[in-house]
Structure 1
Amino acid sequence: MSFKETFYTTGENLLKKIKELIAEGNVTKISIADKNGNEIISFPATIGVIGAIFAPIIAAVGAVAALLTECKVTVERKGPPTDKDAESTEFGQTNE
């Protein structure tokens, strides 16, 4: 079972948020879109456990962050949603 969450954030906070999501461990896929919903980049988060492979993705996310003022991050997580996942965050979270 998996579920999706959507976060809205600014470009300057994007890299920090992606790193936090990867560190949580239950994220399987991350998609980043502009404020109009046009997907910019999408990648499987499971590769984050291998630092050498993950470094270019972090660089790409940093480049995307520099171009975007506002963006939407969609996160696919494994397992059922928990109460913690339903809480709001500073990024304006919604569960799908």
Structure 2
Amino acid sequence: MEITLEKIDMVRERTGVSYRDAKAALERNAGNVIETLIELEDNNKTNWTEEFSVRSHEVIDKVKELIREGNVNKIRVKHDGRVLAEIPVALGAIGAVVLPQLAALGVLVAVFKRCTIEVVRQGGQDTEQTDAKQEEPEAAIDKYPRDIY
């Protein structure tokens, strides 16, 4: 089957993956949209995560900004797909738990030079910047990378 922009857009609209990921998945499934959606779902590509690629000196400011936005359950710091740190964020524990860990995050990120921050949001709230549909009302995650330089 032919892989068209319409098929790629359809996969992106339903899963929130990038054009590159949608095209690659369609190629693996001979252009079959349904099989592609099933594959991406099985690979957890449809989980909604919000990811930010940051440099070491910006990680603390970015984490503080995300916490101030509210409705954040967890913050994960990743490097090359490996989770370096996972911080649970509770409204009452922000000062006691998160702030001391921010210094450790800064050190971790400084060692690895470039990391990804993954934010798990509560309540299934969809952000304006993503096309992903609300699927898991209790712990939805928006997925799209942002490079900050």
TM-score (norm 2): 0.50
Q: Which runs of 5+ in 2 are unaligned?
A: 1-46, 132-143
Q: CA RMSD in A?
A: 2.8
Q: Which runs of 5+ in 1 are unaligned?
A: none
- Gap change, CA 1:39 and 1:10, over 3 Å in 2: same
SS at match of 1:53: helix
Greater RCO structure (CA 8 Å; 6+ sep): 1
Contact 1:47 1:53 in 2 (8 A): no
Identity fraction in percent:
33
Deviates more, 1:47-56 or 1:37-46: 47-56
- TM-superposed CA distance for 1:67, in Å, is 1.3
1:69 is the counterpart of 2:107: no
C-alpha distance in structure 2 between counterparts of 1:51 and 1:19, whole Å: 11
Paired amino acid for 1:25: G
Contact 2:51 2:146 in 1 (8 A): no
- Gap change, CA 1:50 and 1:9, over 3 Å in 2: closer
Contact 2:50 2:119 in 1 (8 A): yes
- TM-superposed CA distance for 1:50, in Å, is 4.0
TM-score (norm 1): 0.74
- TM-superposed CA distance for 1:44, in Å, is 0.6
Correspondence for 1:28: 73
Superposed CA offset, 1:40-96 (max 9, x none): 10011226744133332122112213212111111001132031x429x99339xxx
More strand by share: 1
Whichever of the two has the greater Rg, that structure is 2
